[in-house]
Amino acid sequence: MAFMFSILVVASRTADSDELLAALKAHTERHPTTFTLLVPAPAAGPAGREAGKEILERALAAMREAGLEVDGQVGHHDPVAAVTDMWDPKRFDEVIVSTLPGAASKWLQVDLPHRVARITGVQVTHVIASDRRAPEVTAPPVHEKQGLLSPLSVLTWGRESGDRS
């Protein structure tokens, strides 16, 4: 029987991204591999865990449809705590962390890929993926129409209405 790699995959908003799926398929082409997808809950509490389950189910379906051997679970809402809770050096050979690009990624702001490498002591592959969620569109704020001398209204602050000194 050939050696089977086991990889812990940490992803949330990018769990069902094309980039992550391509990276996982590329790994299986090099070595027989099983994956465990860890989705940190998007928020604390029951609502966050439910949202995490929806992300997990959608991603597992896409990965299995692509022919990958994968299972998964929802973890703690703090991704570092989620990895710490899940990590078992007897079970996993390496870790893949999938994040949004640059400043859009809260995980990169806390340097998650390097922190996971320090926690686990194994190779961590960082996959930068796109977000499939539609961008939030909001209307611009409506400003009051102000008169020409309205900036001078600050001079009356603190005066009582009858005080004209």
Tell me: pLDDT of 158 over 70.
Answer: no
- For 64, phi then psi, to 5°, come to -70, -35
Domains, the chain, in order of start with CATH, read 8-128 (3.40.50.620)
CB 84 within 8 A of CB 119: yes
pLDDT tens by residue, 99-137: 999 887 899 999 999 999 999 999 999 999 976 655 566
CA distance 107 to 127: 12
